[in-house]
Structure 1
């Protein structure tokens, strides 16, 4: 399988794993939901997990890959405030946890760029 075909499937796998984790261990995700959002944090946890699973499915199918990849890039931008909240909330935790929370912040940019790259590749194949 050429590298350009593996990339969307790897991104889909990442999203599917994260999405499943939202349902398997929701409490850890509930804590990252910004308090400015209305409703219960668990609702947002489940909604974001379902969105990740849907995006993963869309990326896995060539016919929906471009739209799913663009939606994935937007999703990664949209969840950035939760990562900021986590970094702020974890600033007094032990160094490894603090480093993990802070390390997530710059990771969002390569994820957005990866999703956009998948969209461009899918567009070129259309």
Structure 2
């Protein structure tokens, strides 16, 4: 049976936003899987079958494509959060400090050998 990768953190967020403030125990009973499996899905994105994903989606009241990474089609990647973006900016700056001087010096050496155009 085909398995898909769920977006565990989104499932956890949606579950906690339900009117009843649903617990993992309540959700596991409603979708007919163990509490341990619910924890694995929410915390480690444990693969689920398509019927399991469908039951989770019905329980949460969302389309199944919303709570899973690409099932049959490519999925749009959400924009990075500010924290993630600042980490990426730091990594980019660090990479530039490491590699840009080497690249610039090689480029300069290559062009200086050719002489004026």
TM-score with structure 2 setting the length: 0.32
Higher helix residue share: 1
TM-score with structure 1 setting the length: 0.30
Which structure has the larger Rg?
A: 2
